[in-house]
Amino acid sequence: AVGGSGLPHQASRETQIAMGERLRAAQGWGAWPSCSSKLGLR
């Protein structure tokens, strides 16, 4: 969805955060519907 190579769990913490921020910028909190609802983010 946002690029990168390999499996997400094999990426560094920094890379995982960067990719998560890129995904949120592109799709909003709806990319994580259950978590964002529980946290009141959408």
* Residue ranges per structural domain of the chain: 8-38
pTM: 0.78
Q: Which amino acid is at 10?
A: Q
CA 20, distance to chain mean position in Å, is 3
Tokens 């955060």: give the residue.
17
Q: Which amino acid is at 14?
A: E
For the segment 1-42, what is each residue's pLDDT rounded down to a tens digit?
788 899 999 999 999 999 999 999 999 999 999 999 999 998
Which tokens in the block code for residue 11?
A: 């990426």
pLDDT at residue 42, as a whole number: 81
pLDDT at residue 4, as a whole number: 87
